[in-house]
Amino acid sequence: MIASSPPKTFILKIKRSLGEGKPSHWESFEVPIRPSMNIISALQYVAANPVTTDGKNVEPVVWDAGCLEEVCGACTMVINGHVRQSCSCLVAENLQDGNTITLEPMSKFPVVRDLWVDRQRMFDNLKKIHGWVPIDGTHDLGAGPTETQEEQEQRYAYSRCMTCGCCLEACPQFTKDNDFKGAQVFAQIEYFNSHATGKELAAERLDVIMEPGGITDCGNSQNCVKVCPKELPLLDAIASLGRKTTVHAVKRFFSGKK
């Protein structure tokens, strides 16, 4: 910490638009700094006082938020050019040029309005890869399969994915125009394919990611693992699926079924 007295206010520069394809513009708001203030509380201040630095009354900024504890993934946005959750982003640690923080919506998903984006593509992809354990039903049929501590630890690491989309936002291979699935989906396939019952659909899941937009399209920039707030072992998932699809392709070729 530098000894000089911290600034009393800072400028929140926000990229705004009325939705996907609509023109966007920047607006700046002056926000008083309070101790351990995060971006969410700054946005709450702006919501209650929607006046720009030019003294113009504007419509309050729209953004997406949920738990504010970095477990729901909702409040993800691009802060100072870098994707992360706005709840766990502290103002004091992220001031640029002395007193500015820029907020932009995630660029890889259609904007709903201002900082709010529609990440439906991520959920749709979970549907495409059959992202569930195919149980017989909810009736009482006894306990599930046992698993070792090691297996549990591996699956637990994957199950912490909160579908925030950081990995996809930072991925140079994932764009609005292509159908690349990205690390989020690959990690979930590893998750489901490593469960005793989830395995039942393993071949179908591998088939899906051998199509265009699948695992082969990964360019190994490895940004995903750097920006993942929950530190999922995304590199392991990607490489492991590389191996499994290779084996699967050979098997599929010689089985003559497909």
- One of 11, 87, 168, 183 touching other proteins (CB under 8 A): 87
Q: Which helix (H) or strand (E) holds 237?
A: helix 234-255
Question: Residues 4 to 63: which contact other proteins by CB under 8 A?
Answer: 18-19, 34, 36-38, 40-41, 44, 47-48, 50, 57, 59-60, 62
- Residue 167 structure tokens: 């990995």
- One of 95, 102, 131, 202 touching other proteins (CB under 8 A): 131
- Binding status of residue 116 toward other proteins by CB under 8 A: yes
**Nearest residue to 174 via CA among 83, 247, 53:** 83
Query: 161 and 72 in contact (C-beta within 8 Å)?
Result: no
- One of 7, 53, 134, 231 touching other proteins (CB under 8 A): 134
Distance CA(50)–CA(69), nearest Å, equals 25
- For residue 32, give the 3-state DSSP assignment: strand
Among the residue ranges 8-16, 95-103, 221-229, the one whose residues contact other proteins (CB under 8 A): 221-229
- One of 95, 99, 203, 217 touching other proteins (CB under 8 A): 217
- Binding status of residue 127 toward other proteins by CB under 8 A: yes
Residues 170-209, one symbol each (x = binds other proteins by CB under 8 A, - = not), give x-xx-x--x-x-----------x--x-xx--x--x-----
Query: 78 and 107 in contact (C-beta within 8 Å)?
Result: yes
Beta strand spans in the chain (E): 9-17, 24-32, 76-79, 82-85, 100-104, 111-113, 116-117
Give the list of residues 6+ apart from residue 194 with CB closer than 8 angstroms, or none: 151, 154, 155, 158
- Binding status of residue 227 toward other proteins by CB under 8 A: yes
- Binding status of residue 243 toward other proteins by CB under 8 A: yes
Q: Which is nearer to other proteins, 11 or 61 (CB)?
A: 61
- One of 21, 23, 81, 98 touching other proteins (CB under 8 A): 81
Give the list of residues 6+ apart from residue 174 with CB closer than 8 angstroms, or none: 108, 168, 180, 182
Q: Please state the closest distance from residue 4 (CB atom) to other proteins, in A.
A: 16
Q: Please state the closest distance from residue 168 (CB atom) to other proteins, in A.
A: 12
- One of 72, 95, 202, 203 touching other proteins (CB under 8 A): 72
